[in-house]
Amino acid sequence: MPPQEKIPPREENRLSQEQDICHSHTGSIQGYSKTDEDTTSWVNGVPTSLDRIPDSTDRDPMETRTEASAGEVSAWAAVKMKMARQSSINDIALKQKTNTQAGEKPPSNPVQDDKTIMDFDDMLPHIGEFGLYQKILFALLAPFAFFVAFVYFTQIFITVIPEEYWCDVPDLRNLTTEQRISLAIPPNEGKTGYDKCRMYAVNFTEMWDKGITKGNPSWPTTDCRHGWEFNYTDIPYSTIASELDWVCDKAAYPTIAQAVFFCGAILGGLIFGWVADRYGRIPALVWTNLIGFIAGIATSFVTTFWAFCVCRFLVGLAFDNCFTMMYILVLEYVGPKWRTFVANMSIAIYFTMASCMLPWMAYYIANWKMLCIATSVPLLLAAITPWIVPESARWLVSQGKLNKAVCILKKFEKINGMKVEPHIYTKFSDSCEKLQKEEEAVRVYSVLDLFKSPRLRSTTLLLIAIWMAISLCFDGHVRNVGSLGLDLFVTFTVASATELPADTVLTMVLDKWGRRWLACGSMVMGGVFSLLATAVPTGGPSAVLAIMGRFSVNISYNIGLQYAAEVLPTVVRAQGVALIHIMGYVASILAPFVVYLANISPALPLLVLGTIGITGGILALFLPETLDKELPQTLQDGENFGKGQRFLDFPCCSKTLDKEDSAEMSSNFQRSNVQMGRASFRASVRGEMYRSSMLQRSVRSRRSMKQSDEMQAANVV
């Protein structure tokens, strides 16, 4: 029996570092079995004792070189590595015992420490996932939610046209309204009422002197020569549209101005997204609100259509960003299990309050210029944000400013009443530094990578189409309230109030019913209600059905906000979500023109919105379900995501999978601890643009990571 070889220290260290490789690639080691590994090994299918390890001199050198060049690892080498590992463990245990007897603290496992990665989400339980400081930040979301509601909806109330208007006839101003209309305005051909854009071309003074008090349809007509008169009964104030006569041949001006507003929103998303990544969330938040403040004030002084468009374009730069930056920042500091609550209830409570309050501000101020000022001045409060709201620690980490990030985390620790050991901060800083260095060598991905593989490409195109349909339906329902035949202010308030129950219901059922069928059902219901609203009389019945459609669209809108963030892989998540949101803005540009179809027929906008809603809901069924699924990290993960799912799967009714099926479905997403750490770091420093940050890591993905760590630790021991 050949004597056991003594392994040199240098080789012992090398083998100790390679032990994890052997455990993770046991299939490449012929004959190696993990059963009874303390007593026997398998060589060429024959059980062999550890003391019967063949010596290297017994093997043919040429054969050994040939096998090495082929990349094979022989059984005796595997057993030798096992012995080296056991010897290393014994030496470490003996050293720890000696140090313990001498009063020294036993060192931790160097390999395990090297593998352990602590990212930002791992720090949150130590400083508090939803403590006092996070609750303060949640409260500070309120003014910014008011800002975005003011920026988004104010234009509706400063460009609204009263329902009744007619040509102004200066010669008849001494008569009553009924007398002027009866004598000077021809009846509406084929419709009830009178013509809003034409008048009789006769000498009205002469006709009145002759005792003629009613016009004759045989008289010649002409376009309005001296402007228009408006009945301010339903809209109790003049607007810029009524002052500048944006009616008849200029009736599309408010629609064009609204489209210009969304063009500004597209550019603003690109500009302030870059500012947020380059200079931080707080500077982007301050500047976007200041631009909205300046442009909003300037709107009240314009006297021409093109000046109005320029101001609305600049206000559009602030749209969404004036709230989203703060929204993202707060979500970054909230633990995963609280993010669904904060993400949905902040909009449900604050945004709903602002939306319901705005129409009554317009009603009681009763002056479009003062309304512009009243809704723009509050944005100036964002200037004090740097002294109240902390900068994003995730962004600071991504910029290498670890000391500032740690200072902010210690502030959270203090206000939340937590106690964090110093070595936790040290471990966090070391992990960030290590991962940041590794990140520099990692390939930089672009949004074009989403279109290079078939399944991921189809998923991306589906997400774009569905989000465009949702955005168009949402904005269309918002702006179509004036065509429902009821009071604008009451109808707008009731429709806006649906945001609260919609978000509340969504918060309760989203993590139980899943995304796919809930998105489909809410969009289809919104479309059906919209179509039904065209089949009932105008007024109360149609308004009720249209508001129910708005309720359903609200649910689908909030599902759509996070669907893309869950389906797209981490390496391109931020860019992919940004692309999808920009395409949503493009669809929103079309929404005012859809609403403008009401000038042709009041039923046309709801017909278009209903058809688009049903189509978008059906398309949602072709997306993969993300409930209880580990989010894809790499492009290959994104390509494989959802392959094991069936079309008719219902998450709320699904049975527990067998262990074999569960292992097979999750095989595409098993990663080592280091890989998970790197992916999570990328998600922290790159994936926080727009609303995608709230779902970079779910609670269940953290559980999967923990189980992976425990399995790996068990294999090492």
Decide which of 304 and 500 is more confident. 304
Contact 657, 703 (CB under 8 A): no
Summarize the confidence of residues 126-135 as an average pLDDT. Answer: 88
- Identify the H or E element spanning 508: helix 499-513
Task: State the pLDDT confidence band at 443, using cuts at 50, 70 and 90.
Answer: low
- Nearest 5°: the CA angle 183, 203, 201 is 75
Identify the DSSP state of 73. Answer: B
Residue 660 has pLDDT above 90, yes or no: no
Terminal-residue alpha carbon distance, the chain: 30
Per-residue b or e along 199-208, where b marks 16 or more CB atoms closer than 10 Å to that residue's CB: bbebebeebb
The least confident of 264-273, 461-470, 624-633 is 624-633
d(CA 300, CA 636): 53
Nearest to 339 by CA among 120, 634, 656, 617: 120
Q: Which of 9-18, 164-173, 315-324, 580-589 has the lowest mean pLDDT?
A: 9-18
**What does the pLDDT read at residue 441?**
60
Tracing tokens 């008289």 back to the chain, one arrives at: 219
| Exposure class string for 41-72: b at 16+ Cβ within 10 A, else e | bbbeeeebebeebeeeeeeeeeeeeeeeeeee
The answer to whether the beta carbons of residues 99 and 106 sit under 8 Å apart is: yes
CA distances from 553 to 197, 503, 580 (A): 36, 11, 18
CB 186 within 8 A of CB 199: yes
How many of the other CB atoms lie within 10 Å of CB of 349?
A: 18
Q: In angstroms, rounded to a whole number, what is the distance separating the alpha carbons of residues 340 and 64? A: 59
Contact 702, 339 (CB under 8 A): no
Q: Comparing 601 with 90, which gets the higher pLDDT?
A: 601
CA-CA distance, 363 to 450, in Å (whole number)? Answer: 48
- CA dist 616 and 610 (Å) reads 10
The count of other CB atoms within 10 Å of the CB of residue 695 is 24
Contact 609, 473 (CB under 8 A): yes
Chain centroid, CA 445 distance in Å: 20
Mean pLDDT of 610-626: 90
Q: Which of 99-103, 343-347, 419-423, 514-518 has the lowest mean pLDDT?
A: 99-103
| pLDDT (tens digit per residue) in 7-62 | 344 444 444 444 443 444 333 333 333 334 344 444 444 444 434 344 434 444 44
C-alpha distances out from residue 659 to 198, 641, 664, 666, Å: 77, 19, 8, 10
523 neighbors 616 (Cβ within 8 angstroms): yes
Over the Cα atoms of the chain, what is R_g?
34
Report phi then psi at 464, rounded to 5. Answer: -65, -50
pLDDT in tens, 245-297: 999 989 989 999 999 999 998 888 888 878 887 888 899 999 999 999 999 99
What pLDDT shows up at residue 690?
Answer: 37
pLDDT confidence of residue 242: 92
Residue 643 reports pLDDT greater than 70: yes
Q: Which residue carries 């078939």 as its tokens?
A: 454
Prediction pTM value: 0.70
pLDDT value of residue 440? 62
CB contact at 8 A, 291 and 325: no
Residue 116 has what pLDDT? 63
Other CB atoms within 10 A of residue 536 CB? 14
What are the tokens at 463? 């997400």
**Do the Cβ atoms of 553 and 501 come closer than 8 Å?**
no
- Separation of alpha carbons 446 and 611, rounded Å: 34
Pick from 138-152, 215-229, 320-334, 700-714: least confident: 700-714
Tell whether the model's pLDDT for residue 342 goes beyond 70: yes
Phi, psi for residue 200 in degrees, rounded to 5:
-75, 140
H or E element in which residue 610 lies: helix 604-620
Altogether, the residues listed in the chain come to a count of 717
Tell me what the pLDDT averaged over the chain comes to. Answer: 75
Of 398, 462, 457, the C-alpha closest to 635 is 457
Q: What percent of the chain has pLDDT over 70?
A: 72
Q: What is the mean pLDDT of residues 573-591?
A: 83
CA atoms of 589 and 608, how far apart (whole Å): 15
For residues 638 and 576, the answer to whether their CB atoms sit within 8 Å is no
Buried b (16+ CB within 10 A) or exposed e, 283-297: bbbbbbbbbbbbbbb
Once rounded to an integer, what is the mean pLDDT over residues 574-586? 82
In degrees and rounded to multiples of 5, residue 42 shows phi and psi of: -115, 125
Q: What is the pLDDT of residue 324?
A: 81
Per-residue pLDDT tens digits for 381-415: 999 999 999 988 878 887 878 888 889 988 998 99
Both tokens of 61, joined, read 């050198």
Q: What gap in Å lies between CA 297 and CA 639, rounded to an integer?
A: 49
pLDDT tens column, 595-615: 888 878 888 999 999 999 999
Q: Which residues of 108-133 are buried (b: 16+ CB within 10 A; e: fewer)?
A: eeeeeeebbbbbbbbbbebbbbbbeb
Q: How far apart are CA 22 and CA 406, in angstroms?
A: 37
Q: What is the pLDDT of residue 190?
A: 64
Query: Token match 């032990």: residue?
Result: 19
Average pLDDT over residues 536-565: 84
* pLDDT at 95 exceeding the cut of 70: no
Q: For residue 29, what is the DSSP state?
A: B
Of 5-9, 153-157, 175-179, 640-644, the least confident: 5-9
Calculate the CA 671 to chain-centre distance.
Answer: 26
pLDDT at 338: 83
Q: Does 5 have pLDDT greater than 50?
A: no
**How far from 585 is each of 82, 267, 580, CA to CA, in Å?**
60, 10, 9
113 pLDDT tier (thresholds 50, 70, 90): very low
d(Cα 13, Cα 8) in Å, to the nearest integer? 9
pLDDT at 230: 92
Please tell me which residue, 484 or 345, carries the higher pLDDT value.
345
